[in-house]
Amino acid sequence: MDRQVPREPQADPAAVEAVLDVSRRVISPGSEAGEPTAAQRRALGLLASRRQWRLADLAGALGVAPSSAGRMCDRLARQGLVLARRASRDRRAVLISVTPAGRKAAEEAEGRQRALAAGFLARFPAPAQRAVAEAFRDLAAAAGEVPVGRRPQPAQAGAPVPRPRPAARPGGPVPRVPPIRPRARERRP
Q: What is the pLDDT of residue 10?
A: 82
pLDDT in tens, 134-189: 888 888 888 777 665 554 444 444 444 444 444 444 444 444 444 444 455 555 55
Its pTM stands at 0.60
CATH class of 38-145: mainly alpha
State whether residue 153 is helix, strand or coil.
coil
| Identity of residue 72 | M
Burial class (CB in 10 A: 0-12, 13-18, 19+), 40: buried
pLDDT in tens, 46-69: 898 888 999 999 999 898 999 999
Q: What is the pLDDT of residue 163?
A: 44
Q: Are 82 and 58 in contact (CB under 8 A)?
A: no
Q: What is the pLDDT of residue 188?
A: 56
Q: Identify the top-confidence range among 56-65, 86-95, 102-111, 176-185.
A: 56-65
